[in-house]
Structure 1
Amino acid sequence: MRDSISVSGGRGRHRKAKQPGEGARRAVVLALAVPVASAALASPSAFAADNRGASVAGHSSPDQAAGADAGDQQMIANLEARIADPRLGSDVSGVVLDADSDATLWDHNGSTALMPASNAKLATATAALTVLGPEHRFQTKVVYGHGTLTLVGGGDRTLTGDDLAQLARTAVAGLKEAGLTTVKVAVDDSLFPEPTLADGWNEGYYPDTVAPVRALVVDGHGVMDTSLDAGQAFARQLTADGVTVDGDVTHATAGRSDVPVAHHTSAPLADIVQHMLKTSDNNIAETLLRMTALRAGRPATFEGGTEVVRHVLSHRYGISLDNFELHDGSGLSRSDRIPAATLAQILERVTEPRYAQTLEPILDGLPVAGEAGSTLGPEYGRFDDPQSQCAVGKVQAKTGTLTGAIGLSGLTRADDGEWRVFSFIENGATATPADTKDAMDGLAATVNGCWA
């Protein structure tokens, strides 16, 4: 059974198409949220069945090279030589698109599904912005009932200690006005189910690489129970403000009759996505995956979230899901597989004016070569060798690094001012990660044209 979401057809030139706006985004949300009787639709693979949009780019051909201008022909020739760099290993893929014409300029095993590492966050960000909307904000609440203040998590992974302190001050003012000086404290993180490991994760990830995914956290603390950690910080602030906390902080579910006493609203999703991409924040990615699932009427689980990601990519943007396999929101899963061609298609959509209203935060959030504080900054040793230094400030790209997998997918403007979109992924290279990244930075500099 097919759903009612319309899919943009083909990969022709469509720069002057009308922007989708809020109405189109709501259509995606509503269509995902409507219960469907068909058991087939409940399967993520079913969402790929109606993939009438784009096809994964094939291998480059002499015709493609022949149709390119002199600068592109030189780039293609250089890429053909440089993709054989032994630092990249033998299991490497790459794609370069001309975003203005939608033409595939170069393709080396682009349809091969490889472990993408954090390049998978591009898919998560696309789905979150589409379903929730760039202006969406997350709420953390405090409610009171039966002698207990309950801190209720709303999926805000950016909540700070200062935010928590303000919640406590507001709550204390209300308590004192009511003549109350002693309370119990509880935390409610029932928005998400009990944390589980994704397929392709192992317990060694916890809690440093990623924390168990819960709906409440403060200051991004990497601890096993972020909700209790936040509740304990909240209780300490209450005590500092003159209210006695009776007993230990516990898990509970807020009652329907509990009275709201304070709330905090996050920055807009656009800002959160930008931060997630700049710093490759795994915890934000996994939280956004669950919040996207909930908004679309799916369970707040890895499976529910990745189901929505697949649906949005295929049905909203016409992106191929051939050989696409996603098990989490961060790309930490060693079972994830995404072709370079698919990642390039996602980024190509970011350049289209008709999607700018929704997807521009992705472009704004991509690390810039040489940008301190981002994953392409000098502190990570990126774009600092003789071949790639010329691309500092000229390349924007999402990095990805796991043991045995390195990716770099992004955009750069060529001499003609048009966007060139690229994606490079390698798995299993035997060179040091630093050397492999240098080689990959060189490929990006080649696409820009500064390393001619």
Structure 2
Amino acid sequence: MDAVRTDPESPSTSRAPAPVRHRHRKPKAMSAAARRALVLAATAPVAGAVLAGPSSAFAADKSTAAAATVPDAAVPVDDADSTMAAKLAERVNNPSLAGDGTLSGVVLDSASDKVIWGHNASTALMPASNAKLATATAALNELGPEARFTTKVVYSNGTLTLIGDGDRTLSGDDLGEMAQTAVDGLKAAGVTNVKVAIDDSLFPEPTMAEGWRPDYYDDQISPVRALSVDGKLSADTALDAGKVFAAKLADRGVTVDGDVTRGKAGTGDVPVAQKLSPTVAELIRTMLKHSDNDMAETLLRKTALKAGQPATFEGGTAAVRQVLGERYGIPLDNVVLHDGSGLSRATRIPAATIAAILDNATEPRNQYVLGPILDGLPVAGEAGSTLGPEYARFDDPNSKCAVNKVRAKTGTLTGAVALSGLTQGKDGRWKVFSFVENNSTAKTSEITDAMDGLAATVNGCWA
């Protein structure tokens, strides 16, 4: 099946471990130019440095963390890194990865940003859902982790208008509560008949992104609108939400005249009810944990608007590039973005850039803003996430040792499989890795098994 929804999207049933955090600042901040030269040039193992222990469930003890102050240049490649790099060099030749396809891969030491291993690291490939990491970074930076979206109901001249604000978590129960609030006000005013309209004008009329296939609709994603209900795929999610709202009103004793129509609320309309979304931080966690395409594209448009761009694919991806390149100094060499979800078959991102995005989220100075990215990464073996056992991840003899030890974003399209995340290596230091494979002729299950094996190799449990 050609789509990111081959990554499962059922609700998580277990609590993810605490996110990776650094206990101390890195010894030395790197310039964007230095990072670019260091990461994109990766073709072989180089010297690494000890990682300051993260303040999380995976943290090394304080004495280990406190010792992580040796200058980078004085730290040679240790045996664990050398062994891991050598094993990766062998295992990327797995026929499921090598074959007729192309693999872009890199492993960084998170404390120093040094490259431990690289293979075609600057080769830009289809990243599938790994593109959501770029979307998440921009959304958190522009909107802020505590921001919420507000769905509203207003009244004017006998019409209740439901106004969308991009909350993809809005449910039928939420609309029922809003309907009850509206009904209470209407009855108090002696109104028993209304018309219902929807206003989803926050976003322009939906279009398809470059690189999207027509059959994505009603299978992988809905046309992107500012109003929806219950996260359902639909040709018109806004109209569906309006119909549900109208039904909730009728259930509560108010007669709805005629069909639900599309309109635009006026500035003088009377506020009647509203519903706040979860925070952007919570939305990001959900988007990443379940690889939610609709949420990614909605967040892309909200990010665009906050950045002063039009709420389109072009405006959203321009905002993403600005945040990544100008705000965080992440290298964008060879990066081509066409959407927020990674469904586009025209999007290209090298593994080196994906690793830099993740590594950026581990910086102590970025913890408050970008921490939800680390929180949202699926955990190997986590039921209900895209790395859950129900999808046969980390369950073969080579990778099952890494269950609960790897946090990573998955990505799957026909002809593209990706896995990028973090794990604590055999030496106790945290590693950032990214593996992106395109055009293998092997079965998807064989490719994902091989990818999981690479992550287990970085962890060191598959020696």
Normalised by the length of structure 2, the TM-score is 0.86
- Please state if 1:215 is matched with 2:215: no
- Hey, what's the Cα distance between the residues in 1 that align with 2:93 and 2:390? 27
Distance 1:62 1:144, change over 3 A: closer
Once the 2 structures are TM-superposed, how far is the Cα of residue 62 of structure 1 from its aligned partner?
A: 6.1
- Hey, what's the Cα distance between the residues in 1 that align with 2:43 and 2:162? 56
- Please state if 1:370 is matched with 2:372: no
How do residues 58-207 of structure 1 correspond to structure 2 at under 5 angstroms?
58-61=41-44, 64=47, 67-89=76-98, 90-207=101-218
Give CA-to-partner distance per residue, 1:19-53, whole Å, 9 cap, x none. xxxxxxxxxxxxxxxxxxxxxxxxxxxxxxx9757
- SS of the residue 2:409 aligns to: strand
Deviates more, 1:76-85 or 1:413-422: 413-422
Q: Which residue of 2 aligns with 1:27?
A: none
Once the 2 structures are TM-superposed, how far is the Cα of residue 376 of structure 1 from its aligned partner?
A: 0.2
- Hey, what's the Cα distance between the residues in 1 that align with 2:44 and 2:122? 15
Match of 2:236 among 196, 219, 225: 225
- SS of the residue 1:86 aligns to: coil
Q: Would you say the 8 A contact 2:46–2:116 is kept in 1?
A: no
Q: Which residue of 2 aligns with 1:312?
A: 323
Once the 2 structures are TM-superposed, how far is the Cα of residue 299 of structure 1 from its aligned partner?
A: 0.3
Distance 1:51 1:68, change over 3 A: closer
- Hey, what's the Cα distance between the residues in 2 that align with 1:181 and 1:361? 45
Q: Would you say the 8 A contact 2:46–2:115 is kept in 1?
A: no
- Please state if 1:242 is matched with 2:253: yes
Q: Would you say the 8 A contact 1:185–1:245 is kept in 2?
A: yes
Q: Match of 1:88, as an amino acid? A: L
Distance 1:105 1:52, change over 3 A: closer
Q: Match of 1:179, as an amino acid? A: G
- Please state if 1:297 is matched with 2:308: yes
Once the 2 structures are TM-superposed, how far is the Cα of residue 60 of structure 1 from its aligned partner?
A: 2.8
Give CA-to-partner distance per residue, 1:305-338, whole Å, 9 cap, x none. 0000000001111100000000000000000000
Q: Which residue of 2 aligns with 1:57?
A: 40
Match of 1:271 among 265, 279, 282: 282
Give CA-to-partner distance per residue, 1:407-449, whole Å, 9 cap, x none. 0000001234321000000000011000000000000000000
Give runs of ≥4 in structure 1 deviating > 2 Å. 13-18, 50-54, 59-67, 415-418
Q: Match of 1:126, as an amino acid? A: T
Distance 1:17 1:91, change over 3 A: closer
Match of 1:386 among 397, 407, 426: 397
- SS of the residue 2:461 aligns to: coil
- Hey, what's the Cα distance between the residues in 1 that align with 2:34 and 2:427? 28
- Hey, what's the Cα distance between the residues in 2 that align with 1:228 and 1:315? 39
- SS of the residue 2:169 aligns to: coil
Normalised by the length of structure 1, the TM-score is 0.88
Q: Match of 2:401, as an amino acid? A: C
- Hey, what's the Cα distance between the residues in 2 that align with 1:53 and 1:185? 57
Report the number of matched residues.
Answer: 409
Q: Match of 1:59, as an amino acid? A: A
Distance 1:219 1:437, change over 3 A: same
Give CA-to-partner distance per residue, 1:125-159, whole Å, 9 cap, x none. 00000000000000000000011000000110111
Which consecutive unaligned segments of at least 5 residues does structure 1 have? Answer: 1-12, 19-49
Q: Which residue of 2 aligns with 1:6?
A: none
Q: Would you say the 8 A contact 1:16–1:353 is kept in 2?
A: no
- SS of the residue 2:96 aligns to: helix
Give CA-to-partner distance per residue, 1:244-286, whole Å, 9 cap, x none. 0000000000011110000000111111100100000000000
Once the 2 structures are TM-superposed, how far is the Cα of residue 64 of structure 1 from its aligned partner?
A: 4.4
Q: Which residue of 2 aligns with 1:9?
A: none
Q: Which residue of 2 aligns with 1:356?
A: 367
Q: Which residue of 1 aligns with 2:65?
A: none
- SS of the residue 1:111 aligns to: coil
- Hey, what's the Cα distance between the residues in 1 that align with 2:46 and 2:371? 33
Q: Would you say the 8 A contact 1:411–1:421 is kept in 2?
A: yes
Q: C-alpha root-mean-square deviation of aligned residues, in Å?
A: 1.7
Q: Which residue of 2 aligns with 1:339?
A: 350
- Hey, what's the Cα distance between the residues in 2 that align with 1:178 and 1:153? 25
- Hey, what's the Cα distance between the residues in 2 that align with 1:80 and 1:363? 27
Once the 2 structures are TM-superposed, how far is the Cα of residue 207 of structure 1 from its aligned partner?
A: 1.9
- Hey, what's the Cα distance between the residues in 1 that align with 2:45 and 2:281? 41
- SS of the residue 2:108 aligns to: strand
Q: Would you say the 8 A contact 2:45–2:82 is kept in 1?
A: no
Give CA-to-partner distance per residue, 1:366-388, whole Å, 9 cap, x none. 00000000000001100000000
- Hey, what's the Cα distance between the residues in 2 that align with 1:53 and 1:233? 54
Give CA-to-partner distance per residue, 1:212-233, whole Å, 9 cap, x none. 0000001001010000000000
Give CA-to-partner distance per residue, 1:97-122, whole Å, 9 cap, x none. 00011100001000000000000000
Q: Would you say the 8 A contact 1:53–1:318 is kept in 2?
A: no
- Hey, what's the Cα distance between the residues in 2 that align with 1:62 and 1:185? 63
Distance 1:296 1:346, change over 3 A: same
